[in-house]
């Protein structure tokens, strides 16, 4: 009987940030195909003795699906380990379609995305009452073009939180887009490289005007998340609109509003 292929989110880099389900699957895996240097620690730390472990760094997509098919013929549990969450910039569907076509069962285990790990590293919130209640996960066009209506300038016009993947080498284009959308030169921008990696994480705080220079000084040219958001720095604001959820005059499922207004 053919095995099952699990697409497991490894989280952003710290091996402790994989889910318990993901870790249990690694511990039961007969074969693991992991995505480059970002997640090798989890793959090697949690895999059982005798497990076939392979880095997909130098493989093409068809080579990867062939390998997964081959391993599924031999093992009950095969894991494709991906950085962050498999549903974000992970070529998930390109890999699952050939499995489905070959009659191989597969499933996805979500992971902590680097967008969330970057915010956590910096102690920032991505949403804030009366500031922004929306997060856009996006990138700028590289070799992959952006579909119509999704260029960063158009998205930035909403003034929401923007988590920008795969774009650190194109930071000048991020700056151009935010300027064209009317963001101020002193708008705060956060860049986190290797978020959650023990001993390797770098946090750079800057503004639209100086973030590129600061990243150059810190030599950040890969594996970095760019966050542009009107919420950044809120921990130090003198005046913060109180969250409606904790406001005594606001009822919700678990608590009735108190009569007395503060
Ligand atoms: N599926 C992944 C994203 C893969 S695309 C996720 O959910 O996080 C690769 C991009 O993710 C990188 O270019 C970078 O922008 C971001 N990234 C991945 N790991 C990161 C980390 N530990 N710190 C900061 N950015 C990271």
| CATH number for the domain harbouring residue 218 | 3.30.950.10
Domain shared by 128 and 156, yes or no = yes
Asked whether residue 244 is domain-assigned, the answer is no
CA atoms within 13 A on the CB side of 148: 0
Burial of 95 (0-12, 13-18, 19+ CB in 10 A): buried
Give CA–CA dist 46/29, Å, rounded: 9
Residue 234 pLDDT: 95
Chosen domain end from 76, 109, 142: 109
Spatial separation of the C-alpha atoms in residues 202 and 143, rounded to whole Å: 26
Same domain, 226 and 130: yes
Residue 150 CA to ligand 1 center (angstroms) comes to: 20
pLDDT tens-place string over residues 101-156: 999 999 999 999 999 999 999 999 999 999 999 999 999 998 889 999 999 999 99
Lining ligand 1 with CB less than 6 A are 12-13, 38, 82-85, 88-90, 113-114, 117-118, 165-166, 192-197, 223-225
Q: How far is CA 31 from CA 62, 74, 196, 236, in A?
A: 17, 9, 26, 48
Domain boundary among 83, 109, 135: 109
Q: Looking at the structure, do residues 97 and 118 belong to the same domain, yes or no?
A: no
Residue 162 CA, distance from chain mean position: 12
Provide the pLDDT for residue 144. 84
Q: Identify the weakest region by mean pLDDT among 31-45, 72-86, 178-192.
A: 31-45
Range of the domain at 157: 114-233
Tell me the pLDDT band of 242, cut-offs 50, 70 and 90: low
pLDDT single digits (tens) 138-148: 999 988 899 99
Residue 192 pairs in a beta bridge with 203, 225
Q: How many domains does one find in the chain?
A: 2
Q: Which of 109, 143, 173 is the last residue of a domain?
A: 109
Is 225 found in the same domain as 121? yes
* Residue 254 domain-assigned (yes or no): no
Pair (83, 124) in one structural domain: no
Tokens at 40, concatenated: 């090798």
Instruction: Give, in order, the Cα–Cα distances in Å from 9 to each of 12, 39, 184, 245, 257.
Output: 9, 9, 36, 31, 40
In whole angstroms, give the CA distance from residue 234 to residue 174: 22
- Report yes or no on 17 lying in a domain: yes
Q: What is the pLDDT of residue 87?
A: 98
245 inside domain: no
Pocket test for ligand 1, best of 7, 80, 121, 223 (most atoms within 8 A of CB): 223
Quote the pLDDT of residue 70: 97
Name the residue with higher pLDDT: 86 or 255.
86
- Confidence at residue 190, expressed as pLDDT on a 0 to 100 scale: 98
Mean pLDDT value across residues 197-206: 95
Query: What is the chain's mean pLDDT, rounded?
Result: 92
Same domain, 209 and 224: yes
Which atom belonging to ligand 1 lies closest to the Cα atom of 222?
13
Number of the ligand 1 atom closest to the C-alpha atom of 165: 15
Residue 249 has pLDDT above 80, yes or no: no
Query: Are 140 and 195 in the same domain?
Result: yes
Domain shared by 181 and 154, yes or no: yes
Span of 101-110, 153-162, 249-258 with lowest mean pLDDT: 249-258
Asked if the structure places residue 252 within a domain, the reply is no
Confirm if 168 and 226 have CB atoms less than 8 A apart: yes
Mean pLDDT of 27-53: 86
66 or 245, greater pLDDT: 66
Question: Residue 262's pLDDT band (boundaries 50, 70, 90)?
Answer: very low
């Amino acid at each position: 009987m053919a095995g099952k292929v699990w697409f497991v989110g490894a989280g952003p880099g710290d091996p402790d940030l994989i889910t318990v389900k993901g870790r249990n699957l690694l511990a039961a895996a007969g074969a693991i195909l992991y995505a480059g240097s970002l997640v090798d620690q989890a793959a090697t730390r949690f895999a059982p003795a005798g497990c076939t472990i392979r880095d997909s760094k130098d493989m093409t997509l068809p080579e990867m699906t062939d390998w997964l098919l081959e391993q599924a013929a031999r093992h009950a549990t095969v894991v494709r380990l991906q950085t962050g969450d498999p549903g974000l910039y992970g070529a998930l569907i390109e890999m699952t379609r050939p499995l489905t076509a070959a009659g191989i069962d597969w499933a996805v285990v979500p992971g902590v995305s680097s967008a969330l790990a970057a915010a956590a590293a910096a102690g920032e919130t991505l949403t804030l009452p009366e500031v922004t209640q929306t997060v856009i996960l996006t990138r700028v066009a590289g070799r992959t073009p952006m579909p119509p209506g999704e260029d960063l300038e158009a998205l930035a016009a909403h003034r929401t939180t923007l988590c920008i993947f795969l774009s650190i080498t194109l930071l000048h284009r991020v700056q151009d887009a935010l300027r064209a959308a009317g963001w101020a030169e002193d708008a705060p921008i956060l860049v986190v490289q290797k978020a959650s990696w023990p001993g390797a994480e770098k946090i750079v705080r800057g503004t639209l005007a100086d973030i590129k220079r600061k990243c150059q000084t810190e030599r950040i040219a890969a594996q970095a998340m760019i966050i542009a958001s009107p919420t950044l720095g809120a921990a130090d604001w003198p005046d913060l609109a109180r969250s409606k959820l904790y406001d005594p005059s606001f009822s919700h499922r678990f608590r009735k509003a108190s009569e007395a207004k503060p």
